[in-house]
Amino acid sequence: MSTATILDGKAIADETIARVAGETAALAARGVTPGLATVLVGEDPASQAYVASKGRAAKSCGFHSEQHTLPDATREADLLALVEKLNRDPKIHGILVQLPLPKAIDAARVLEAIDPRKDVDGFHPINVGLLSIGEMARALVPCTPAGAMIMLDKACAALGTSLAGKEAVVIGRSNIVGKPMAQLLLQRHCTVTIAHSRTRTLPAVARRADVLVAAVGQPEMVRGDWVKPGAIVVDVGINRVPGEGLDAAGKPKTRLVGDVAYAEAAEVAGAITPVPGGVGRMTVAMLMANTLEAARRAAG
Ligand code: NAD
């Protein structure tokens, strides 16, 4: 039977949201209400659901929240004009442009147009640079890796250990998860390896890890025998795979799995995040934390 500590993303996210709501009330008493603007271009159902959940979380934190919904055929110049308007709006402290954007729009140009101080996704090159030089008082950090770090701290507290000196392996080198995750682990004094699609003998590399982070997008790729006994395993992957039977509408059911074969890995790990109910729950909570932080900095 598994003895791994299961890291409950919902509970940790709820705790984070409650902290943000409490600190928002204190800031509001000083006359500053954090403001989050979300921008959605097109009608992708997954993006609509993400933006709606971000708006709900902003309201539950006591933020001023506004959603800008633009048609799929929006011109890049019009989107840039909206970003500029939000950059100048003193009610708005955080701007989130939901990705992916329609193909006709240059996403990098749009993300770079956001005022870095309002870039609550942490994707602007200025924030990437601030993170990499450790200027954490000025950086805004991407939400998913920031949430994963909070879960790692909970794991360390549960296991009575700390991150300093640990071997950390991050599988995946994307700009939104893998690379910033590696930077955050490095700042916490881990010895960090970034593995990726060209890494040789990946299972052996993974087995070195005291802290193993999977951010790949390959269902259950990381097997139980890739995990060092007692390791902390953080599964960032969210993959939809065929389930069993049919749903109420007669369509084949699907289910979500991570990049880690959870049941196998939980037999070996010291602590592990499940999917669903793990890191995914933290992303929206950290977006709220970033918006509060941006508002605080703007208020001096
Ligand atoms: P991505 O596709 O941008 O990057 C995937 C990375 O994995 C790449 O760097 C690639 O080199 C590496 N990779 C691909 N195949 C590999 C293989 N066979 N072996 C080793 N490495 C391999 O993906 P991403 O945006 O970083 O997302 C990764 C996963 O995390 C996805 O499942 C995504 O859905 C999930 N995700 C979750 C959240 C959240 O929790 N809210 C946020 C972002 C991404």
Give the tens place of pLDDT for each residue, 146-158: 999 999 999 999 9
Measured distance CA(217)–CA(238) in Å, rounded: 7
Q: Is the pLDDT of residue 197 over 70?
A: yes
The best mutation among 197, 202, 257, 284 to test binding of ligand 1, ranked by most ligand atoms within 8 Å of the C-beta, falls on 197
Helix, strand, or coil (residue 268): helix
Return the residue whose CA atom lies nearest to atom 1 of ligand 1: 174
Helix, strand, or coil (residue 214): strand
* H-assigned helices in 114-160: 125-132, 143-159
Predicted pLDDT of residue 3: 87
Measured distance CA(117)–CA(33) in Å, rounded: 16
Residue carrying the six token digits 């984070």 = 16
What is the distance in A from the centroid of ligand 1 to the CA of 217?
A: 4
31-117 with 142-280: one CATH topology? yes
pLDDT digits (tens, 9 = 90+) for 78-95: 999 999 999 999 999 999
**CATH code for 31-117?**
3.40.50.10860
Q: What percent of the chain has pLDDT over 70?
A: 100
Predicted pLDDT of residue 99: 96
Return the residue whose CA atom lies nearest to atom 30 of ligand 1: 237
CATH of 142-280, one of 1.10.357.10, 3.40.50.720, 1.10.1740.10, 3.30.360.10: 3.40.50.720
pLDDT digits (tens, 9 = 90+) for 114-129: 999 999 999 999 999 9
Measured distance CA(292)–CA(178) in Å, rounded: 24
Predicted pLDDT of residue 44: 94
Q: Is the pLDDT of residue 10 over 90?
A: yes
What residues are annotated to the active site? 54, 98, 121
Question: What is the pLDDT of the chain when averaged over all its residues?
Answer: 97
Read off the pLDDT of each residue in 13-22 and give the average, rounded to a whole number.
Answer: 98
pLDDT digits (tens, 9 = 90+) for 206-248: 999 999 999 999 999 999 999 999 999 999 999 999 999 999 9
pTM: 0.96
Residue type for position 276: P
pLDDT digits (tens, 9 = 90+) for 163-173: 999 999 999 99
Predicted pLDDT of residue 128: 98
Q: Is the pLDDT of residue 283 over 90?
A: yes
Q: Is the pLDDT of residue 13 over 90?
A: yes
- The DSSP 8-state label assigned to residue 162 in this structure reads -
Q: Domain residue spans in the chain?
A: 31-117, 142-280
Q: Tokens in use for 208?
A: 């070195």
Predicted pLDDT of residue 1: 66
Measured distance CA(87)–CA(95) in Å, rounded: 8
Measured distance CA(64)–CA(160) in Å, rounded: 39
Q: Which atom of ligand 1 is nearest to the CA of 283?
A: 41
Helix, strand, or coil (residue 228): coil
Read off the pLDDT of each residue in 40-56 and give the average, rounded to a whole number.
Answer: 95
Read off the pLDDT of each residue in 180-208 and give the average, rounded to a whole number.
Answer: 98
Core vs surface per residue 179-198: b (16+ CB within 10 A) or e:
bbbbbbbeebebebbbbeee
What is the distance in A from the centroid of ligand 1 to the CA of 216?
A: 3
Return the HEC string of 66-115.
Answer: EEEEECCCCCHHHHHHHHHHHHHCCCCCEEEECCCCCCCCCHHHHHHHCC
Taking phi over 0 as left and psi of -120 to 50 as alpha, with beta for the rest, 8 belongs to beta
